[in-house]
Amino acid sequence: MAAATDIRYTRGDATAPHGARPAVIAHIVNDRGAWGRGFVLAVSRRWPEPERAYRAWHRGRDSNDFALGAVQLVRVEPQLYVANMIGQHGIATRRSARPPIRYDATGRCLAALADHAAAAGASVHLPRIGCGLAGGRWEQVEPLIRTHMCARGIPVTVYDLP
């Protein structure tokens, strides 16, 4: 097992990750098949493949693993992937009793992504996942990243917009 790492925080665009490849850009998606607000817009501006793959994954959900806690890796450049991680149940509405983020599902996503990253020798790059439209709190998401990724030696960079 690799030595534990810490989260690196930086200012910048998570869709333009710093450092060597291979790398994975990770983000949270919902389990309803909705794509069109939040970080996914930045992803779609750069590459069409993650949205197309997510929509196809959702359409085929009766015969695939599309569910909370699942991860879909989409290759967007020779050594760069986008990880669509289903960690959000539905979408927030004014009448929502609780935020759509599901921390347990997000943890399962991060654990699965850590397996992929470790096997590929990849670093992981992400915005503050689950803390925008999903309504999560970073104080609850950050420990999941530390437990599932940093403890396994996966280099993680979190990007905050300038």
Question: pLDDT tens digits for the chain (162 residues)?
Answer: 578 889 999 999 999 999 988 999 999 999 999 999 999 999 999 999 999 999 999 999 999 999 999 999 999 999 999 999 999 999 987 777 889 999 999 999 999 999 999 999 999 999 999 999 899 999 999 999 999 999 999 999 999 998
Q: Which residues pair with 77 in a beta bridge?
A: 80
Distance from C-alpha of 44 to C-alpha of 20, rounded to nearest angstrom:
22
The span from the first CA to the last CA of the chain, in angstroms, equals 35
Distance from C-alpha of 117 to C-alpha of 112, rounded to nearest angstrom:
9
Helices (H), 60-137: 103-120
Distance from C-alpha of 25 to C-alpha of 37, rounded to nearest angstrom:
17
